[in-house]
Amino acid sequence: MSNRFQDQVAVITGGADGLGFALARRLAGEGAFVALVDFSEEKLQRAKTAFGTDAATFKLDVTDPIAAHKAMNDLVAQKGRVDVLVNCAGITGKTGIKSHEVALDDFDRVMNVNVRGSFIMFQAVIGHMLARNYGRVLHIASISGKEGNAGMLAYSTSKAAVVGMAKVQGKEYAETGVTVNALAPAVIRTAMVEAMPEQQVKYMTDKIPMHRCGTMDEFAAMVAFIVSPENSFTTGFAFDLSGGRATY
């Protein structure tokens, strides 16, 4: 495996398990120092044990701007830089229900974590990236944000907002050395997917021409390219990882 992230510092929200943890392993394997941001102290402790001195951990609610800015300022004080931010933290909310059945507090909670959280973390790192004229930001969206998944109103809406955010930010910072993109996966077999009703998962995989979930290794490999120095021209774009599902 290459060392294309040698001496770089990569921040991964939701980094203590699932997609975030798989990505952290990939980036660390290519030379990065990884900063894992998560809400679960227990998961962070396990992750810290797995990475040892190659990682820092931050117990953080990504919807709290004061805590997010403090954590990123502390990281830069320690390591001198932030090169990569990947916003993996996200929740699905209640699924398998129609829009008129969605509770407003559940809708607000999903939007708060998935959209507000990604925005806050972006604001917490962008100043540090601009100071060094380099950065890679990736917001993890979903194919449901591009095409809509029936029964997942709050989640699909939040991920559409994430795609829109990446497109705006990519344009705004295009001449700064900082790229901002989104990734729209179809179903990746994670604990979050395992927690969904099987009927909901079948509904989603039936739409995938490959008729299977993506793997966490496939996810991590694609993300590693998007946030690498090699990917210096593409910005404001929503990459697909869909097994052929995307129709546009």
Q: Note whether 216 and 188 are within 8 A (CB).
A: yes
Decide if 155 is catalytic: yes
> How far is residue 40's CA from residue 84's CA, in Å, rounded to a whole number?
22
User: Which CA distances in Å does 22 have to 88, 115, 217, 219?
Assistant: 11, 22, 7, 8
Catalytic site residue from 155, 173, 203, 248: 155
User: Which CA distances in Å does 93 have to 16, 110, 194?
Assistant: 20, 6, 14
> How far is residue 119's CA from residue 214's CA, in Å, rounded to a whole number?
26
Q: Note whether 121 and 169 are within 8 A (CB).
A: no
Q: Note whether 182 and 141 are within 8 A (CB).
A: yes
Residues 242, 155, 167, 22: is their CA dihedral positive or negative? Answer: negative
Catalytic residues: 155
